[in-house]
Amino acid sequence: MTAPLLVCAAEVEGRGLASPLYLGVGKVAAAVAMTRALLERRPAWVLLFGVCGAYPEGHGPGGRLDVGDVCLVGDEWLGDEGVAVDDGFLTLAQLGLGSVGPLMADGGRTAAAARSLGAPIVRGATVSGCSGTDASSRALAGRTGATVETMEGAAVAWACAAAGVPWVQLRCVSNRTGQRAAGGWDLPRAVAGVQAALQRLQAADWGNE
């Protein structure tokens, strides 16, 4: 039976749990720490957990989640790698400079986790600057088709893909993206939600091989 390497971005997300690896917040910190862990620990698979923002109704084509909802991320995209131009945004892919996704999660384990929790599988967008205005939220949701937004998901996924290591991503919504005053922020609720979901999965022994 092979347990995953548990990773999260910030100490607040893993506080009280048994020895998760803290990656740091943001793409660079997450990519560096994840790569180091993959080389040194050589895990069979990785489980990234934490909180996220959710694109609200009307900001994009993805499914809708609200504060406190748990989800699994089935595919990740780099949401803001490229160039802002007068009439929109050109991604790295459109510029011919690289890929922005999709980065695919471990399908079997993700589906099993979703069934166990009764949670949806959604698309994630990873950003360097979170969507704190309605305009930026609509733009990111529109061009990625994502449901949730994080600052580490695609970085962890990219490092795992380069190492040939499967990954699963478990998130709980802490806020709606867009205008922050209307975001319904509840970080304690989201941390409690993702930790409870993680503990349910561990108790069910769902991801072991």
pLDDT in tens, 12-39: 999 999 889 999 999 999 999 999 999 9
d(CA 113, CA 125) in angstroms, rounded, equals 20
H/E element, 132: none
Over residues 154-177, the mean pLDDT reads 98
If you average pLDDT over every residue of the chain, what do you get?
A: 94
Say how many C-beta atoms besides its own lie within 10 A of residue 21's C-beta: 17
24, two tokens:
């740091």
List pLDDT tens digits, range 31-81: 999 999 999 999 999 999 999 999 998 888 767 899 999 999 999 999 999
Helix ranges (DSSP H) in 6-133:
11-14, 27-41, 107-117
H-state helical runs in 26-132: 27-41, 107-117
- Options 3.40.190.10, 3.90.1150.10, 3.50.50.60, 3.40.50.1580; CATH of 5-203: 3.40.50.1580
